[in-house]
A and B are shown apart, each in its own frame.
Chain A
């Protein structure tokens, strides 16, 4: 029944867009950071990579917060409890959330790209930029799963502080703000194991038009599987605790 999916997509998007206090900061934050710290690079080639880094930062942030925080907060409401008795509600709800995360991520990336084109004039071709945007959107998925897992393993009150404690270090370790080669040596070593680093590696390859390193794809696929598993167990645990 397509109708269910349509209704959930519609109401999820309406709920979010009608709360500008939520979505405006979410989509503006990456472009603001980029404008302050990323746009000053004068080398046109390097500025392409910096733009890609901030795009990675944007999609990861949206996927992580849009999912992690909102699931943790919603599942404690009585409206959420009511929806559990509706037939066939699980997938339309989950997919509409993912869809909403994708839309917000797209807006956030487009803002970063626009700011870059105006201020830093990166050398990357239009084709490479479009490809990078599409690949960046795909990266929403693993980090959304990470968000879902976090949402189910934390309480509504703890979700935001915990998400910050995980997301900000991961962005730094992954080299999204400073190129990994400029990080302290120990941090460089750790960087190679983070999901954020591998997401960035993929986007750098796309924007620089060189082959995407397969190790990064494996790492990210591995992380996706791990996050999906954590999300699933978190969900089961929550079900058992609430309704067992």
Chain B
């Protein structure tokens, strides 16, 4: 049995005037994958996602959603999308909005279940006009999931959420993904997706520059943090020493052995030396720097 990819891009191009928003992108998102799209503003993330959703037609190339043209109802019946900007109809209550969206799907999630998952108890029977940013976001998330879709599209899902709602949301999302659903996520909070994303794609100038798991990205970058306490700022040739506060210093390096040897040879007084792997965010930043310098150099 062959199973259809959730999303299929084949040499997709889309320009606005002279700007190539998406420039020959090819990729697949398989069922059960949690894909995170990263990139600076204008890298083509929104354009790519809008094409996956059938809101924009590509200039050339092929886009498929569950094997169908993304504009087709059969494809759209299988997805859930988080509303952007979230200006809901002011004269409707949360429950009425959720029920309106649910009514479009064959096997929607029960409203009570959504209330529990997205902490909606206090806002379910209220008009949305007085909602805080976090309350709007929780309702928006409930709308993305309420259709029980096989693929969920989340653009900056946790913006405006407090710590508790954030945790509750990712917990729910992990369970949901565990049941075989795919996610396509864009976010700036890399620490949050580290444990859920199965693949991360870096977009620069409308092209996928790198694609891999969080671990692959970290090992590709191979950068470590060396931290220690010292009474005065140490000088280490060829390395930038950052002040980490409270008499602590930090050096980022792709060769931590050389740095440590250097510290000892120079007889620098130190204590509590640590060598730490870089975070995903730091690894991604490094990759982006390399990519941009490559493109400007070329």
Which residues of chain B come closer than 8 Å to A6, judged between CB atoms? Answer: 103
Q: List the A residue with the shortest CB-CB distance to B128.
A: A79
Contact A78 B87 (CB under 8 A): yes
Chain A positions 1-37 with a Cβ under 8 Å from a chain B Cβ: 1, 3-4, 6-8, 10-11, 14-16, 18-19
User: Which stretch, B38-46, B71-79, B270-278, B286-294, touches the partner chain A?
Assistant: B71-79
Q: Does A77 contact B (CB under 8 A)?
A: yes
Which residues of chain B come closer than 8 Å to A237, judged between CB atoms? Answer: none
Contact A87 B84 (CB under 8 A): no
Q: How far is the CA of A16 from the CA of B106 in the complex (A)?
A: 28
Contact B91 A78 (CB under 8 A): no
Contact B57 A243 (CB under 8 A): yes
Contact B103 A3 (CB under 8 A): yes
Contact A84 B91 (CB under 8 A): no
Query: B84 is contacted by which of A3, A78, A86, A88 (Cβ under 8 Å)?
Result: A78
Contact B92 A85 (CB under 8 A): no
Contact A7 B100 (CB under 8 A): yes
Q: How far is the CA of A178 from the CA of B99 in the complex (A)?
A: 48
Contact B92 A11 (CB under 8 A): yes
Encode B41-79 as 1/0 by CB contact (under 8 A) with A: 000000000100111110000000000000001101101
Q: Does A89 contact B (CB under 8 A)?
A: yes
Q: List the A residue with the shortest CB-CB distance to B50.
A: A243
Q: How far is the CA of A3 from the CA of B106 in the complex (A)?
A: 10
Contact B55 A243 (CB under 8 A): yes
Q: List the A residue with the shortest CB-CB distance to B80.
A: A85
Query: B83 is contacted by which of A7, A79, A88 (Cβ under 8 Å)?
Result: A79
Q: How far is the CA of A177 from the CA of B74 in the complex (A)?
A: 51
Q: Which of A6, A8, A87, A89 has the most chain B CB atoms inside 10 A of its CB? A: A87
Contact B96 A11 (CB under 8 A): yes
Q: Does A189 contact B (CB under 8 A)?
A: no
Q: Does B105 contact A (CB under 8 A)?
A: yes
Q: In the complex, how many angstroms separate the beta carbon of B126 from the nearest chain A beta carbon?
A: 13
Q: Given the known A-B contacts A4-B103, A85-B76, are A244 and B57 also in contact in the complex, defined by CB atoms under 8 Å?
A: yes
Contact A82 B81 (CB under 8 A): yes
Q: List the A residue with the shortest CB-CB distance to B56.
A: A243
Query: A87 is contacted by which of B91, B99, B104 (Cβ under 8 Å)?
Result: B104
Contact A15 B103 (CB under 8 A): no
Contact B85 A85 (CB under 8 A): no
Q: List the A residue with the shortest CB-CB distance to B97.
A: A11
Contact B104 A86 (CB under 8 A): yes
Encode A63-81 as 1/0 by CB contact (under 8 A) with B: 0000000000000011101
Chain A positions 45-97 with a Cβ under 8 Å from a chain B Cβ: 77-79, 81-82, 84-89
Q: List the A residue with the shortest CB-CB distance to B96.
A: A11
Q: In the complex, how many angstroms separate the beta carbon of A194 from the nearest chain B beta carbon?
A: 35
Q: Given the known A-B contacts A3-B103, A6-B103, are A81 and B84 also in contact in the complex, defined by CB atoms under 8 Å?
A: yes
Which residues of chain A come closer than 8 Å to B104, judged between CB atoms? Answer: 4, 86-89
Q: In the complex, how many angstroms separate the beta carbon of B136 from the nearest chain A beta carbon?
A: 11
Query: A86 is contacted by which of B76, B89, B96 (Cβ under 8 Å)?
Result: B76
Query: What are 23 residue pairs bridging A and B, where the CB atoms are less than 8 Å apart in the complex?
Result: A1-B106, A4-B103, A6-B103, A8-B103, A10-B96, A10-B100, A11-B96, A11-B97, A14-B92, A14-B96, A15-B92, A78-B85, A79-B83, A79-B87, A79-B88, A79-B89, A82-B83, A82-B84, A85-B54, A87-B104, A87-B105, A243-B55, A244-B57
The 5 closest A-B CB pairs, nearest first, are A7-B103, A82-B83, A78-B85, A18-B91, A87-B76
